[in-house]
Amino acid sequence: MLILHCPNCGVDADETELAPGGEAHLTREGPGSSDEEFEQYLFLRENPRGVHFERWRHAMGCGKWFHAARCTTTMEVFGTYPAQTSEPPQEIRDRISDRRPGWRWRELS
Amino acid sequence: MSEPVSALRGESYDGHIRVEEAGLRGMITVRGDLSSEAVARAVGEVSGVEVPGPNAANASDARGLCWMSPDELLLLVPHAEAGETLRRLSDALAGEHALVVDVSDARATFRLTGAPVREVLAKLTPADVSPGVFELGAFRRTRLAQVPAAIWMRDAQTAEVVCFRSVARYMFDLLATAARPGGEVGYF
pLDDT higher than threshold 80 for residue B61: no
Nearest CA distance, A10 vs chain B (angstrom):
8
Judged by DSSP in three states, B24 sits in: coil
Q: With an 8 Å Cβ cutoff, are A61 and B54 in contact?
A: no
Q: pLDDT truncated to tens, each residue of chain A (109 aa)?
A: 899 999 999 999 999 999 999 999 999 999 999 999 999 999 999 999 999 999 999 999 999 999 999 999 999 999 999 999 999 999 999 999 999 999 999 988 8
For chain A, the structural domain boundaries read 1-25+51-109
Q: Residue A40 in contact with residue A106, Cβ under 8 Å?
A: no
Instruction: Give, for B119, the enclosing helix (H) or strand (E).
Output: helix B117-124
The alpha-carbon radius of gyration of chain A (Å, integer) is: 14
Class for the domain spanning A1-25+51-109: alpha beta
CA atoms within a 13 Å half-sphere pointing along the CA-CB vector of B163: 24
Residue B153 domain boundaries = 12-23+106-178
B128 touches chain A (CB under 8 A): yes
CA-nearest of A12, A11, A10 to A2 is A12
CATH of the domain at B99: 3.30.70.1520
CA distance B83 to B61: 19
> Are residues B91 and B134 both part of a single domain?
no
Number of domains in chain B: 2
Question: How far are the Cα atoms of A31, A78, B116, B185 from residue B180, in angstroms, in the given order?
Answer: 60, 41, 12, 11
Q: With an 8 Å Cβ cutoff, are A62 and B141 in contact?
A: yes
pLDDT higher than threshold 90 for residue B31: yes
Query: CA torsion sign, A35 to A41 to A45 to A46?
Result: positive
Compute, in degrees rounded to 10, the torsion defined by CA atoms A50, A16, A22, B139: -110
ipTM score:
0.88
